Amino acid sequence: MIENRTKFPQKKAQMYQQMQELPKKYSVMALVRMEKVRASQLLPLRKKLLGEVEIVSIKDKIAKKAFEKLDVPGAEKMKEMLTGQCVFMFTNMSPFKLNVLLGKNKVFLAARGGNIASIDVVVPPKNTGIAPGPMLTEFKDNKIPTKIDQGTIWILKETTPVKKGEVISTKLAALLGKLDIKPIEARIVLNSALSESILFSEEELIVDVDAFRDKIAQANQDALALSTEIAYVTEDNIAQILAKASQAGISLSVEAAYVTDETKEQILQKAHSQAQGVASKAKDYTAE
């Protein structure tokens, strides 16, 4: 007869306890999707984010069990997304800032046959340090020109055996590994994030920093132009407003022939031009 287990292993019990406590301690709970990232690669990230982000790796069954008794608005929606090994991040920073931060911590891994190249795979000309023999055939099969010099294989010129988005063959993957070329991007992406009872999807969490910066710059220019046009004085536009007012005053003075030190030259030029126009018309005038 098999008895129902009433005690769980200590490690699982700790995970369960963490999933009960951390969502209440922090304002943001994020579920992570691992893209070709190995568990060992989380270690440097843990150190880098120490004090700002707590990272918990947990099985979906334990997480779901913890979610059943978790009194956090919106958590039930995240529970539906739990599958397999889950990685949670708990923080008080904005989930958008967290996602941008994670995007800056991508790494490149060695390729395996069938992988899709994340970048153009460029093989530079160099001394490979590899002794000639069967390896020459591998270079030839991948259309990488070589020569033998001083007992080693030299790559003659820069070659791109596969471009971004193309499939890397098993033979090429093996060769790239020997050349220490890593063309597979591995990164950590937020699959979803719960903040202030709002569940953000992966797509909603993506922030194009460059595009966002351009929009802010354009908005600033538009605001500056509008405030200058309506003469709404601020520290940023006072110089433009004064220059515009000065130019308008000079134009009005010239139009009204009101002589000042700033307008006398323009008024004389205008009068001279008008006089030349009158003289030109008078020359063709014939009295009846």
**Exposed/middle/buried for 43, CB within 10 Å: 0-12, 13-18, 19+?**
exposed
What's the pLDDT score for residue 75? 83
What's the pLDDT score for residue 279? 74
d(C-alpha 32, C-alpha 35), whole Å: 10
What's the pLDDT score for residue 192? 92
Task: Choose the CATH number for 121-181 among 1.10.287.3510, 3.90.105.20, 3.40.190.100, 2.60.40.10.
Answer: 3.90.105.20
Query: What average pLDDT does the segment 101-107 reach?
Result: 82
What's the pLDDT score for residue 2? 42
The yes-or-no verdict on residue 5 having pLDDT over 70 is no
Among 120, 54, 61, residue whose Cα is nearest residue 86: 61
The yes-or-no verdict on residue 6 having pLDDT over 80 is no
- Higher confidence at residue 41 or residue 225? 225
The yes-or-no verdict on residue 61 having pLDDT over 60 is yes
pLDDT digits (tens, 9 = 90+) for 149-176: 989 999 999 999 999 999 999 999 999 9
For the entire predicted model, the pTM comes to: 0.59
pLDDT digits (tens, 9 = 90+) for 206-239: 877 677 778 888 888 888 888 888 888 888 888 8
How many other C-beta atoms lie within 10 A of the C-beta of residue 81? Answer: 15
What's the pLDDT score for residue 1? 40
Place of tokens 């991508």: 106
CB burial readout 162-195, b (16+ within 10 A) else e: beeeeebbeebbebbeebebbbbbbbbbbbbbbb
In the chain, % of residues over pLDDT 70? 93
Looking at the chain, the domain(s) classified CATH 3.90.105.20 span 121-181
Of 95-104, 127-136, 279-288, the range with the lowest mean pLDDT is 279-288
Average pLDDT, the chain: 85
Query: What average pLDDT does the segment 184-196 reach?
Result: 88
What's the pLDDT score for residue 127? 95
10-107+187-207: what fold?
A: Alpha-Beta Plaits (3.30.70)
The yes-or-no verdict on residue 183 having pLDDT over 90 is yes
Looking at the chain, the domain(s) classified CATH 3.30.70.1730 span 10-107+187-207
What's the pLDDT score for residue 284? 66
Of 18-27, 89-98, 236-245, 248-257, the range with the lowest mean pLDDT is 248-257
